[in-house]
Amino acid sequence: MVTQQQVLDTLKQIGLNLYERKLWLALLTRGVSTAGELSTLAKVPHSRTYDILQTLTDKGFVLTQNTKPLKYVAIKPSEAFERVKKRLRENLDITIQRIEDLEKSPVAQELERMFKNGVQLVQPAELTASLKGRKAMHNQLETLFKEAKKSISIMTTPSGLNELYHNHGNLLKKAAKRGVKIRIAVPASKEHAKAKEDLSKIAAIKHINKRTNVGRFFIIDGNHAVMALTHDKVDPSQDVSLWTRSEHLASNLLVPMFENIWSGI
């Protein structure tokens, strides 16, 4: 049997804070109730109860009766969830439209100008960031692959090649069409057969000896580098990598390393 604590913990995952969860559960057990009754039942401060119930109403979990005192009506949970999903989709669509409108506006051009001028004042060594989680790494790679002009050199693992294919296959194809030279070094494995077959159409791929595998790193145009600092078998949320816009590190250190690996195959 599911405990009340398990219910509270699960509802936290859909964005309800502790007081919202307690009041909603209390209302579900009563069907219809006043704020005072729910405050006592849920052990939520009376001074906060009206505001929280209004928030639950706005989110689609509760209906309000215009009586004196105000009464609140529980909504069937399955219906409440559908209302919440609908509201989230509507809000997301509105936000996306606002962003798309912003991208076409003079404001976006001004923001780009500010960024360009600001970057010119920064020393290359300062344009470095730690990327926590594999999603953060792939987000950064997506940006770099979109902006690549000359070359993309990749050293990765079999599972890393699969991730690269599924996350960025289309971007790499577009980069190749722009004339970007793409090279990928990876240990031989049946694990990445499909990814290798498809990516070999737009990139030069060579197998390396597993003993020479130095992990995962990416060099873009000789001035951007992304290096994984953890093993690819760690939980993706715990993966850590480093991005730097340092021509010294990319061209003088990583490029020679990659060339040695590539020519030694």
Per-residue pLDDT reduced to its tens digit, 86-122: 988 999 999 999 999 999 999 888 888 877 776 565 5
| pLDDT band at 43; cut points 50, 70, 90 | very high
144-194 pLDDT per residue, tens: 999 999 999 999 999 999 999 999 999 999 999 999 999 999 988 888 888
49-76 pLDDT per residue, tens: 999 999 999 988 999 988 888 899 998 9
From-to residues of CATH 3.30.870.10 in the chain = 128-263
Residues in the chain: 265
State in words which class domain 4-75 has: mainly alpha
- Does the domain at 128-263 match CATH 3.30.870.10? Answer given as yes
From-to residues of CATH 1.10.10.10 in the chain = 4-75
Give the residues across from 110 on adjacent strands: none
Rounded to two decimals, what is the model's pTM? 0.67
Work out the average pLDDT over 136-151.
94
State the amino acid at position 99 in one-letter form: I
Tokens 């976006």, residue located: 108
215-264 pLDDT per residue, tens: 899 999 998 999 999 988 899 999 999 998 887 788 888 899 899 888 87
